[in-house]
Amino acid sequence: MKLRAIVVGALTLSMGLAACGSGAAPSSTKGATLSYGPISIWYSNNAQEITWGEQEVAAWNTLHPTQKVTGQQIPASQSSEEVISAAITAGSEPCLIYNTAPAAVPDFQQAGGLVPLNDFPGAVSYIQTRTGSLASMYKSPDGQYYQMPWKSNPVVIFYNKTEFAKAGISTTNPPLSTYSEFLATAQKLVSSGAAKYAIYPSPSSEFYESWYDFYPLYAAESGGKLLVENGKATFDSPAGQAVAAFWAQLYKENLAGTATVTGDTFADGTAAMAIVGPWAIADYQGKEGSPAVDYGVAPLPTSKGNTSYTIPTFSDAKNIGMYASCKNRGTAWDFLKFTTSASADGKLLTLTGQMPMRQGLQKAYASYFTANPDYTDFAVESAHVIECPNVPNSIQVWQDFRDDWSKSVIFGTSSPNAALASAASAINKLVSSSSSLP
Amino acid sequence: MPEVPPLEAELQLATRGSEMKLEAELPPGTGESRGTRLARAVLGPQPIGMAFGAPYALFIAVLFAYPLGLAVWISFHSYFFTAPGVSVARPFVGLANYVAVLTDSEVLRSFLNILIFLVINVPLTVALSLLLATALNAAIPFRALFRACFYVPYVTASVAMVAVWLFMFNTGGVVDSVLGPVAPVPSWLVNQNWAMPSIAIYVTWKQLGFFILLYLAALQNVPKELYEAASIDGASWWHRLWSVTIPGVRTVTTLITLLAIIVGANLFTEPYLLTAGGGPNGTSASPVLLMYQIGIEQNHPDFASALGVILVIGVLLIVGVQRLLQRNQT
């Protein structure tokens, strides 16, 4: 009986180990950078990006029949980061992912899932020439590029002209430049019954939600400070406190919603304003099957007032990562350059309305912006974006921030200033450690 | 007796019914080859039975036992997920992960949340499912329709059900509209006092059909004569329920209580979808939700594993105590 138990146990353990521990070691040698052949890529499941991706893959495959690229949408999940993280652990990620969030790069890098692009001759020069000074935000602390800056979606204020008109507010030059103007406009929108809520950023506690409420306004108010700079949190400051107080007031007066909702509250008219980037324009123009919204765009407010699109905002960028399981990295690098060429960037802009991270965007695609003036302000903003800081424990940093933000600003159970101080203290500890317990 | 290869001998043993039993009972060394004895020692007296059971044993071992063992190992080490072939140090950290878990205010809050959930969900589940099963067991009109209606939420996808409840319980939703000024402010799912009770009620409603089914099956085994005797003695409906039905379905009540506790301890979908990731302010966060956020999203599987192990031990303790109490009562 004992022998049987031992044999069965050993078999089970070995099979379990085989099941859970298998997977090819990544071809981490530099030799892989010279390897050419078929590769696979993932791109976003946004309809316009699928079209762009399919066109680029088809164009490449026509020119390079022996280095076939297979493209597919990123598998569905709550967030792309989860899917990519799981794929890295399983060793099943494709060569290139055109949906890599800069905030997740430190974790992917720590997991050994990313290929440093510096391995490729001329890569640093290529990245910096294309993206300009903004490229430095995407450099990892070890000085290497583990991501190709690709496209940004500078977030600004969208407003519903129909609801503004109903509330008797100017639809061409709405008073939204200062916090006090914004609050007065919000009060008017709700009290007049024009909209149920003035604005409705997701109140969810997911780590990335602060990118669409706190962070853009903090970028504007602070003159472009990142959440963490030089290993220290920057937001426990007058600028951070002003932004927190502004949002806390909106929630306190029920001008912003606290309940979970399904769908887009701006598109369905529940909220009169939203903080989003140019990717949403196609939706609001009714091209994606949803009813069209008569929208206007305004720059982000600050406490002292702002009417310019040169004020810093959050990039909401998605970049291209090359992943460790990639065998034919030579092809992957060539394809990456092919899809970030001036021509490919032009197609991306035309098809998606998202801003390629390329210097001199307005000049390079002047005819597009003349024909599509709605996108011009975003092109201006795209030169003034800030990014999530490239620091260790990046996701945990944002989660800690979000938890304190939810407690104080959204649900009002503690003072926003105390919450910012608490979050700053926790974040300082996190970024000083390469791997720390939550 | 002609000589046969050991494997063939085993097959013969397995197919000869009582003959096999007799041979299996023979003392070792009486006319058997060494190979046969070894095969019997490894595979036991019923090798074909072992063959039938092996796939499920393997399934359990690979998908439950191994991950559980790995989780325990991870919980004692500094660990994060890496790509295959990437070699990183995974130092032994003793109880550091457990200390971190047990001193984390969000984790402690999540255990309190689950306690609140269980206090509401378990008694409500047991009482409602027993009452409804008793009613559905009686000869009432449209009995089959009612049974199906109660079962529908259980077999419908949680995501679809959550969407319906969001529609009903959101700020300004159907429930708020019906209750008018009596409705809580802020509304149910964003109210720190009501978020977890709302989830507990939702889960009770969703699971009710299954538990009613268990009780209906158990009620078939309660002898009708007992009810007749009680009626003759003048027992009211309540007395018959208390003195005949409840003792008659005690084993199923135990099972339902255990299942309800396990469902509660594994709560994930509802706080994830219904209250936007455990809100408001963490008052509906569950330990499993935190395991997901910390282990998967933040890549701290060491902390998440320690939390998981504590959760498993907690559930086993609760179940053990419950079983002990049940045994004493019996």
Per-residue pLDDT tens over the stretch B12-22: 544 444 444 44
CA A100 to CA A347: how far, in whole Å?
20
pTM of the model: 0.80
Question: Does a structural domain hold residue A20?
Answer: no
Question: Which pLDDT score is estimated for B330?
Answer: 63
Judging contacts by C-beta atoms under 8 Å, the chain B residues touching residue A16 are 61-62, 65-66
Does the pLDDT of residue B34 top 60, yes or no? yes
Same domain flag for A291 and A358:
no
Phi, psi of A156 (to 5 degrees): -135, -175
Q: How many domains does chain A have?
A: 2
Instruction: Assess if residue A421 is contained within a domain.
Output: yes
Task: Kindly state whether residues A102 and A233 are assigned to the same domain.
Answer: no
Region B311-319 average pLDDT: 89
Short-list B328, B314, B325, B315, CA closest to B102: B314
- Best residue in B50, B81, B166 to probe A by mutation, most A CBs within 10 Å? B81
pLDDT class for A15, splitting at 50, 70, 90? very low
| Within-domain flag for B92 | no
The yes-or-no verdict on residue B30 having pLDDT over 60 is no
Kindly state whether B216 is in contact with chain A, defined as any CB-CB distance less than 8 angstroms. Answer: no
Task: Tell me what the pLDDT averaged over chain A comes to.
Answer: 90
Cβ neighbours of B179 (radius 10 Å):
11
CB < 8 Å to B65, chain A: 12, 16
Residues A355 and A422 in one domain: no
Is A234 inside any structural domain? yes
Co-location of B109 and B30 in the same domain: no
Omega of the bond leading into B223 within 30 degrees of 0 (cis) = no
Q: Quote the CA–CA distance of B245 and B222 in Å, as a whole number.
A: 7
pLDDT at A433: 75
Q: Which residue has the tokens 């001329």?
A: A122
Residue A25 has pLDDT above 80, yes or no: no
Helix (H) or strand (E) holding A156, with range, is strand A156-160
Are B256 and B291 found together in one domain? yes
- H/E run at residue A303: none
Q: Considering B43, B75, B107, which residue would you say is the last residue of a domain?
A: B75
| Range among A119-128, B44-53, B171-180, B275-284 with highest mean pLDDT value | A119-128
Q: Using 50, 70 and 90 to split pLDDT, how confident is the model at A417? A: very high
Q: How many whole angstroms separate alpha carbon B52 and alpha carbon A96?
A: 45
From A262, A288, A123, select the one nearest A202 (Cα to Cα).
Answer: A262
CB contact (8 A) between residue B299 and residue A110:
yes
- Three-state secondary-structure class, residue B321: helix
Q: What is the mean pLDDT of residues B49-73?
A: 93
Element (H, E) at A184: helix A179-191
Determine the residue among A146, A402, A435 to mutate to test chain B binding: the one whose Cβ has the most chain B Cβ atoms within 10 Å. A435
**Domain for residue B113, yes or no?**
yes
Examine the pLDDT at B9 and tell me if it is beyond 70. Answer: no
DSSP A158: E
Mean pLDDT (chain B) is 85
Task: Tell me the chain A residues in contact with residue B85 when contact means C-beta distances shorter than 8 Å.
Answer: 23-26, 28, 91, 112
Q: Check whether residue B53 and residue B147 sit in a common domain.
A: no
Q: Are A123 and A138 members of one domain? A: yes
pLDDT (tens digit per residue) in B131-176: 999 988 887 788 788 888 888 888 888 888 888 888 888 877 888 8
Does one domain contain both B58 and B173?
Answer: no
A260:B170 CB<8 A: yes
pLDDT at A30: 56
Is B264's pLDDT higher than 90?
no
Alpha helices in A223-269 (DSSP H): 238-252
pLDDT 10s digits, A293-319: 999 999 999 999 999 999 999 999 999
In angstroms, the Cα distances linking B285 to A163, A179, B211, B266, B271 are: 36, 33, 25, 12, 6
Please name the member of A259, A325, A399 whose beta carbon is closest to the beta carbon of B189. A259
Do residue B59 and residue B169 come from a single domain?
Answer: no
Which tokens go with B146? 């009612």
Clarify whether residues A350 and A397 are in a common domain. Answer: no
Assess whether A194 and A121 both reside in one domain. no
Amino acid identity for residue B160 in this structure: A
- What is the signed CA dihedral for A283, A285, A287, A292, rounded to 10 degrees? 90
Q: How far apart are CA B185 and CA B192, in angstroms?
A: 10
Type of residue found at B141: P
Neighbours of B31 (CB within 10 A): 8
In chain B, how many domains are there?
2
Structural tokens at position B9: 């001998």
Q: What is the dihedral of CA A27, A31, A34, A35, to 10 degrees?
A: -40
End-to-end CA distance of chain A: 45
Instruction: Please state the rounded mean pLDDT for residues B295-311.
Output: 93
Q: Which domain, by its residues, includes A148?
A: 31-152+317-386
The verdict on ipTM greater than 0.85 is: no
Q: Which domain holds residue B53?
A: 6-75
pLDDT of residue A6: 45
User: Whose structure tokens read 């503690």?
Assistant: A414
Task: Tell me, yes or no, if B86 comes closer than 8 A to chain A by beta carbon.
Answer: yes
**CATH assignment at residue B220:** 1.10.3720.10
- CA–CA separation, A138 and A312 (whole Å): 17
DSSP secondary structure code for residue A291 in this structure: P
Q: Check: CB of residue A140 under 8 Å from CB of residue A115.
A: no
Average pLDDT over residues B83-92: 91
B35 and B113: one domain? Answer: no
Is 70 exceeded by the pLDDT of residue B28?
A: no
Is B103 part of any domain? yes
**pLDDT of B165:** 87
Which candidate from B190, B299, B302 shows the least CB-CB separation from A107?
A: B299
If 0-12 CB within 10 Å is exposed, 13-18 middle and 19+ buried, where does residue A298 land? buried
* Same-domain status, A35 and A135: yes
Q: Assess whether B70 and B101 both reside in one domain.
A: no
**Encoded tokens for B68:** 């559980």
Q: What is the pLDDT of residue B36?
A: 78
User: Distance from B229 to chain A by nearest Cα, in Å?
Assistant: 52
Same domain, B308 and B166: yes
Q: How far apart are CA B177 and CA A366, in angstroms?
A: 53
Interface mutation target, options B58, B192, B298, chain A, most CBs of A under 10 Å: B298
Q: What is the DSSP letter of A285?
A: T
Q: Going edge to edge, which strands form the sheet with A197-199?
A: A197-199, A271-276, A156-160, A295-298
User: Is 90 exceeded by the pLDDT of residue A262?
Assistant: no
A296 and A276 inside one domain: yes
Work out the angle between the directed axes of helices B34-43 and B6-15 (0-180°, nearest 10): 50
Residues A171 and A135 in one domain: no
Question: How many Cβ pairs within 8 Å bridge chains A and B?
Answer: 164
Average pLDDT score over residue span B225-236: 91
Same domain, B176 and B209: yes
* B58, B83, B296 member nearest A91 (Cβ): B83
3-class state of residue A20 by DSSP: helix
CA B264 to chain centre: 8
